[in-house]
């Protein structure tokens, strides 16, 4: 089953969700702002994305700029920042099995699902 980490206030996330709905494939929506992933869940998700944790951070978010920008942080500290402030997590994230992608480009989502 496909999962999408979704923020309903984000246009890219809404577009991705609509695209997945149109595909008629089974999917689950995870509103990660309401159901914040745990540290371990986020760590697993980052492994599925094959990213370094910093690549998943929305670095232009005010919270990041004011609290974390230009600080030396370990990967675990970056993950913890996203758990504490889930708005920092890039979106949407589409998960299928043991792989995941950032679903901002619908052509990529189409190829992935």
Instruction: Examine the residue annotation and report whether 10 is marked as an active-site residue of this protein.
Output: yes
Q: Which long-range contacts does 15-20 make (Cβ < 8 Å, 24+ apart)?
A: 15/106, 16/92, 16/94, 16/103, 16/104, 16/106, 16/109, 17/92, 19/106, 19/109, 19/110, 20/94, 20/109, 20/113
Q: Compute how many other C-beta atoms are within 10 angstroms of the C-beta atom of residue 102.
A: 19
Cβ atoms 66, 85 nearer than 8 A: no
Among residues 2, 3, 10, 54, the one annotated as catalytic is 10
Residues known to be catalytic = 10
């Amino acid at each position: 089953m496909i999962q999408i980490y979704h923020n309903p206030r984000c246009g890219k996330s809404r577009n991705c969700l609509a695209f997945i709905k149109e595909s008629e494939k089974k999917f689950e929506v995870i509103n990660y702002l309401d159901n914040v992933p745990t540290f371990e869940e986020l760590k697993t998700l980052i492994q599925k994305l094959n990213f370094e944790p910093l690549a998943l951070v929305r670095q232009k978010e005010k919270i990041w700029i004011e609290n974390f920008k230009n600080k030396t942080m370990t990967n675990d500290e970056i993950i913890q920042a996203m758990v504490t402030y889930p708005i920092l997590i890039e979106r949407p994230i589409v998960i299928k099995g043991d792989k995941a992608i950032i679903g901002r480009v619908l052509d990529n989502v189409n190829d992935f699902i």
